[in-house]
Structure 1
Amino acid sequence: MNLLAALIFVLIQVNVLAQTNGEATLSGFVYDGGSGEELIGANVFFIDPGIGTASNEYGFYSITAPKGKYKVRFSFVGYKSVEKEIDLTTSEKIDVALNYESLELDQVVVEAEKSDENIKSTIMGSIELSPKEIEFVPVILGEKDILKTMQLLPGISQAGDGNSGYFVRGGNIDQNLILLDEATVYNPSHLFGFFSVFNSDAIKNAKMIKGSMPPEYGGRISSVLDIKMKEGNNQSWGFSGGIGLISSRLTIEAPIVKDKGSFLISGRRTYADLFLKLSSDEKLKDTELYFFDLNLKANYKLGESDRMYLSGYLGRDVLGFSDRFGFDWGNYTGTFRWNHLFNEKLFSNTSLIISDYDYSIEVDNESVMMKITSGISDINFKSDFQYFLNTNNTIRFGVIGYHHTFVPGELSSEGGSLNSKEVEKKYGIELGAYASHKYNLSQRLTLNYGLRYSHYLNMGPGNTYRYDQLGNPIDTTTYSSGDIINQYGGLEPRISSTYLLNDVSSMKLSYARNYQYIHLLSTSTTSTPIDVWLPTTDVVKPELSDQVALGYFRNFDDNNWETSVEVYYKYMQNQVDYVNGADIFLNEFIESQLTFGKGWSYGVELL
């Protein structure tokens, strides 16, 4: 932390030096004038000399230029552009509100990117969707679904018919990192995979990265799906909702203090069980069959340099038949976030996050009572910094830490022949630090390179086992609380580049290495609620992937049509598989049921 503080101090001093050398910085936030929501990827362009930038994922922008007078255009696709005359003799902070272009509603799709961003960006294998785009995609029984939409993209395939689980470029289901307001969602499915847990009414935007992940992402080797929730309307009260064949939903948003803070409450619930209560069959009347989602978010602006956010998600599936059988599973997450501006060039986001997934099965047939539980939970701290050195250089760096608690399974039994059993909990600490540099070498060539270091510590209390060739335990070592059982780590270089062939086409090249320290065990080809998460141990090594990709990107008709061709090759090590007849259910010696190997995937994607 002392090194981090020293780095921040140096960057502040560099900014002071730049101002004394005849440069000044224009910075601020770009937001929706109707709701107060920050706009991600809004374009800020100095008309002369023709330099520009885009707002980051929190709506913040910063651009440095020689001191002087400029005409600056602020724009976002689907919104009316705003032009301002700015005398940049000293650094200025200007927040800009953009209003929706109502006269072109039938022609405009609101997107969180510049119209030619797919050509100029260094990120490959990436696509960003807003709820406006999802509205036009038909899905199961009329339910709008982020995950179903993503599965239509090249390189992504369903884990099964109608299932929300997905494979990316030859990877497994657990190799996809899914984030909701920075919190990990371990099971993104409702109703055994037919629906996802993401209520589109509460979603601001979603970004899928299946190629070269930027260094700020880690922990999975195939893809990242980063979903941001809406902040809520800080101008006026708003209500929206709908009634569908499967579920009904309601969203409420309103200001806490106008222009300073807002909140959002969005809920969704199915109601098949309500109709069952109309049945003349007494057993059916007591049947439970539903799922629900609840999204909550609030934010408040403390001053010109600080803003706090608090968001949460709660979702659960409930299946029960009278008093005899019950099965429920679900996620909850919580994120506390603090945005801080050190100066007009240095932006930070610090977050404290919790995430939990669990399932419970209960059986009561009068003579036997049984309950089975399992799950995984995290406490996560992260701090990210973005330094806008000048129009050609942007630096990002940060740290992240997870504390994982794995609950492989517990069986409580009364009566019958089954004995109560508990597989011991496992604990792990996952740490990471990264730095990256986006460098515009020329008007045509842009390079984005970085390095991430990740480290995993398998922590006590717990036991480790040594097995013979048949998988039978032959030795046990016991560790106390706080003991480091074993540890792994490695460097993860990431690099991507873009070369503009002309105004409408470009070539891109990327390479990324990723480590993964937690693994999902399932005997099914699709994700199910009773899958078990397992950490890296002395037997189970961290998964590792190296991926290289080459792409050609071309736009047509003044950027109204986007096309791309990407070729990729991915090499994967320490892939987890199962021995013949593997038994992973409540198995204390589950490592003996696993086998490990290497994998390769390659392909061509057309979009």
Structure 2
Amino acid sequence: MIKLLSVALFAPLALAAQNKDRHTLAGTVRDGSSGETMIGASVVLLERPSVGTVTNAYGFYSITAPAGRYHILISFSGYAPDTVAVNLTRDTTVSVSLSVGQELKEVVIRSNRSNSNITQSLMGVQKLSTADIKNIPVLFGEKDILKTIQLLPGIESAGDGNSGFFVRGGAADQNLILLDEATVYNPSHLLGFFSTFNSDAIKDVTVYKGEMPAQYGGRLSSVLDVRMNDGNDQRYSVSGGIGLIASHLNLEGPIKKNKGSFLITARRTYADLFLKASADTTLRKSQLYFYDLNLKADYSFGDKDRVFLSGYLGQDKLGVTGQFGIDWGNSTATLRWNHIFSNRLFSNTSLIYSNYKYDIGITSNNDDITIASRIIDLHFKEDLQYSLGTDSKLNFGVDVIHHTLSPGIINTNAGASYNPLSLQKKYSLESAAYVSHDWTPARGWKVTYGLRASLFQVLGPGNFYSYDSVGNVDHTETAASGKVVTSYFNLEPRFSTSFQLNDVSSLKLAYARNVQNLHLLSNATSSTPTDLWIPSSPNVKPEIADQVSMGYFRNFSDNRYELSAEVYYKALQNQIDYKNGAQLEANENVEADLLYGPGRAYGLELYAKKKEGRLTGWISYTLSKTEIKVPGINNNTWFPAREDEPNNISIVGTYKVTKKWSFSANWVYNTGYPVTWPSGKYEVNGAPVWLYTERNGNRMPAYHRLDLGATVITKKTAHRESSWTFSVYNAYDRWNAYTITFKQDPNNPSQTIATKTALFGIIPSITYNFKF
């Protein structure tokens, strides 16, 4: 490991020494009409086609080449390319603004090189454009990032009414979800029917499936990195949409032209307004809505400094006045400073705040009970990117997060039947340093390797318990504020490489170790707002995943078609399960009810995509297996994990009939997930008691669904646009099982009745969208 770290640190410096007679060309690429920085724009030297790069997450690029006269070609999907002449006699800065391409003839310019899926070293990476998200028909007509990524290979849905997703056999909490670098702990609205991400505010979406770059950490399975729009620094504009159940509005414009901009995006559902008109008194008293608000502003202080301030506020309200209520939501804030030290060195410094909370109120007889829980993160990041030469780039930085977890505070009114309870807060400090090197050692080879060193410290104040073999407290340690109770240090190496067989095909290999120190406890079949997060502790060890993967990538017909096949194997340590009858809520000693064991996940992912023409879309298929082995469960043998859905198929298509009309469809199928059903019953005092034997020994029925959509553009000019979107969710009215419950047949006590509950049948929707 020491040798690996030495290579990561010193090999790039040796390469830099070889490039001292070269000069560096750098700058920022922006949208000419809005001033938005462009992530992934292609920058290539025409005289040296092998010398090129793509802009980073902040629109910055850097290229090093020998002195000489060059023409640089800058291109991005949907924009007219621009060519700039440069006399490279010293380090030079060239920033470019691109304009939307003219439809004089069919010319396709891509954000990456047309065969970037062949040439890039990273594998298991999926990027979604706003067009991909816009064209997918979804529930109630609301564009949804989380539902769209579940149509990609290796990413499986957690089911109807759930925005959670499983990546390569990992649990829902093993996905790191970021919005402008801030962690989002619960990415769902209305118990999972919608996601927290308003697509009007989103610029870029990237999913890393296991082989995540070294700057990411803290989760085992994936990173979903969502970047918000910056706002238009050229002109004011308003856009929005009005649907059957929700409406959204977007306002953006310049703070000062060419210097700064702002963005305000708001969304709200209004099902509660229809409930007010009901003749049913209970429904009139009901609350059933959510709202969210995205805010962002940026300002440039010269050519080398730019400051961003972004925030998100989302809230759900569900309940019946005077009976019960559940409020939950996320709030985040990110302050970022981009600084260009030189044409070779780029810096991003971030201060981040994240808050997830839920409040539950219950009124029963004379009892008024309130339950509250919080997760608050204070986060500092420093990321640096250094260009070492034409074929070499170094990324390095530090990352520090202070976590405060409030598992639960229960308050009651005077004279209530229940006593108030306050579970102690849990404090921890999560720190990391990383270095990563992107390198082209020889023609056809690309390598990315790096190392992340993470340190997790459990902090006081608080009481820390140890337990005997049956779960009773046998020792208590009291720690003062700030005292380090337990520390976990881990090295997380990352490596990926690609070998280009020819211009249209390549082989790739990757390995990554990831460590997770925050854990979600839930014994429900789907996630809920009240699921409990806990940190690693003296009893709860960090979860660890080692994943190795291989892939073959092939393009056809001048890169119009993509085909890939990837296989992976993931070895998991310290996976969490529960004792029979575990009490997860309002339990100070919840760690006594936890069990731990190894896991394994392996599979095959096939992906075929058509990128051009009137008909575009993709087909993905995943064949996988996910198992765990926990002492004390199923006779200590391997058994299917909740995330085990062996077969998963998605077919997505969009057909552009005319410039105004387009149609879309997607069909999904997956094997039912494992569940534990009763294997028998007996009576106690005349009441049935169910007998459970094998954990996850049964499966829910298979899930499949067809969605259809159509969009018509009614008006489109340079500054005005309006359209109608029609969609049908679950077009052939498949009643997919949400839950299956068992009860004794009242007419024949020796028989058992199984009852299936489905959330959705066929659901049509219509949305009017506008922009001016």
> Which bracket does the TM-score occupy, shorter chain normalised?
over 0.9
Shift of 1:563: 1.2
2:591 partner SS = helix
Shift of 1:14: 10
| Corresponding residue number in structure 2 for 1:565 | 565
| Corresponding residue number in structure 2 for 1:498 | 498
2:103 partner SS = helix
Q: Residue type matched to 2:114 in 1?
A: S
Q: Residue type matched to 1:583 in 2?
A: Q
Cα distance in structure 1, aligned partners of 2:107 and 2:477 = 66
- Check whether the contact 2:173–2:520 (CA below 8 A) recurs between aligned residues: yes
- 1:508-539 Cα offsets, whole Å, 9 max, x none, are 00000011011000111221100010000000
The reply to whether residue 513 of structure 1 matches residue 513 of structure 2 is yes
Cα distance in structure 2, aligned partners of 1:130 and 1:252 = 21
| Corresponding residue number in structure 2 for 1:141 | 140
- Check whether the contact 2:42–2:111 (CA below 8 A) recurs between aligned residues: no
1:262 partner SS = strand
Q: Residue type matched to 1:597 in 2?
A: G
Shift of 1:374: 1.1
| Corresponding residue number in structure 2 for 1:433 | 433
Q: Residue type matched to 1:227 in 2?
A: V
| Corresponding residue number in structure 2 for 1:290 | 289
The reply to whether residue 259 of structure 1 matches residue 261 of structure 2 is no
Cα distance in structure 2, aligned partners of 1:89 and 1:465 = 67
| Corresponding residue number in structure 2 for 1:386 | 385
1:103 partner SS = coil
Matches within 5 A, 1:295-444: 295-365=294-364, 367-414=366-413, 415-444=415-444
Cα RMSD after superposing both structures: 1.9
Change (3 A) 1:177 1:104: farther
Shift of 1:282: 4.5
Matches within 5 A, 1:124-135: 124-135=123-134
| Corresponding residue number in structure 1 for 2:660 | none
1:344 partner SS = coil
Shift of 1:327: 0.9
- Check whether the contact 2:460–2:480 (CA below 8 A) recurs between aligned residues: yes
Change (3 A) 1:144 1:437: same
Change (3 A) 1:143 1:104: farther
- Check whether the contact 1:15–1:345 (CA below 8 A) recurs between aligned residues: no
| Corresponding residue number in structure 2 for 1:250 | 249
Shift of 1:112: 4.5
Q: Residue type matched to 1:560 in 2?
A: R
Cα distance in structure 1, aligned partners of 2:57 and 2:372 = 37
1:147 partner SS = helix
| Corresponding residue number in structure 1 for 2:762 | none
| Corresponding residue number in structure 1 for 2:175 | 176
Change (3 A) 1:325 1:127: same
Change (3 A) 1:235 1:105: farther
- 1:21-62 Cα offsets, whole Å, 9 max, x none, are 532111100111111111111111111122211111111011
- 1:295-337 Cα offsets, whole Å, 9 max, x none, are 0000000111100000000001101312332211010000000
Q: Residue type matched to 2:260 in 1?
A: G
Shift of 1:364: 2.9
- 1:232-286 Cα offsets, whole Å, 9 max, x none, are 0000001100011221000000000000100000000000111222234454333
TM-score of the superposition, structure 1-length normalised? 0.95
- Check whether the contact 2:326–2:361 (CA below 8 A) recurs between aligned residues: yes
Q: Residue type matched to 2:545 in 1?
A: S
2:529 partner SS = coil
| Corresponding residue number in structure 2 for 1:60 | 60
| Corresponding residue number in structure 1 for 2:587 | 587
Cα distance in structure 2, aligned partners of 1:231 and 1:105 = 31
| Corresponding residue number in structure 2 for 1:535 | 535
- Check whether the contact 1:382–1:399 (CA below 8 A) recurs between aligned residues: yes
Cα distance in structure 1, aligned partners of 2:270 and 2:134 = 22
Cα distance in structure 1, aligned partners of 2:307 and 2:426 = 33
Cα distance in structure 2, aligned partners of 1:205 and 1:123 = 18
1:135 partner SS = helix
| Corresponding residue number in structure 2 for 1:159 | 158
- 1:552-596 Cα offsets, whole Å, 9 max, x none, are 011122222111100100000000110111001110001001000
Q: Residue type matched to 1:559 in 2?
A: N
Deviates more, 1:425-434 or 1:322-331: 322-331
Gaps of 5+ in 2: 1-9, 608-772
Shift of 1:153: 1.0
Change (3 A) 1:106 1:239: farther
- 1:384-428 Cα offsets, whole Å, 9 max, x none, are 000011111100000000000011111101133110001100000
- Check whether the contact 1:111–1:129 (CA below 8 A) recurs between aligned residues: no
Deviates more, 1:552-561 or 1:398-407: 552-561
| Corresponding residue number in structure 1 for 2:650 | none
- 1:359-393 Cα offsets, whole Å, 9 max, x none, are 00112346111100112110000000000111111
TM-score of the superposition, structure 2-length normalised? 0.75
- 1:466-499 Cα offsets, whole Å, 9 max, x none, are 2111101122111110111111011000000010
| Corresponding residue number in structure 2 for 1:224 | 223
Change (3 A) 1:140 1:16: closer
Q: Residue type matched to 2:126 in 1?
A: I
- Check whether the contact 2:15–2:389 (CA below 8 A) recurs between aligned residues: no
- Check whether the contact 1:210–1:223 (CA below 8 A) recurs between aligned residues: yes
Cα distance in structure 2, aligned partners of 1:520 and 1:112 = 37
- Check whether the contact 1:35–1:235 (CA below 8 A) recurs between aligned residues: yes
Shift of 1:458: 0.1
Cα distance in structure 1, aligned partners of 2:14 and 2:155 = 44
| Corresponding residue number in structure 1 for 2:750 | none
Shift of 1:544: 0.3
The reply to whether residue 206 of structure 1 matches residue 205 of structure 2 is yes
Cα distance in structure 1, aligned partners of 2:441 and 2:148 = 36
Cα distance in structure 1, aligned partners of 2:104 and 2:534 = 51
Change (3 A) 1:255 1:15: farther
Q: Residue type matched to 2:46 in 1?
A: I
Cα distance in structure 2, aligned partners of 1:233 and 1:115 = 28
- 1:182-230 Cα offsets, whole Å, 9 max, x none, are 0000000111111110000000010001031110110000000000000
| Identity over aligned pairs, percent | 53
| Corresponding residue number in structure 1 for 2:77 | 77
Shift of 1:131: 1.2
| Corresponding residue number in structure 1 for 2:481 | 481
| Corresponding residue number in structure 2 for 1:466 | 466
- Check whether the contact 2:161–2:191 (CA below 8 A) recurs between aligned residues: no
Gaps of 5+ in 1: 1-9
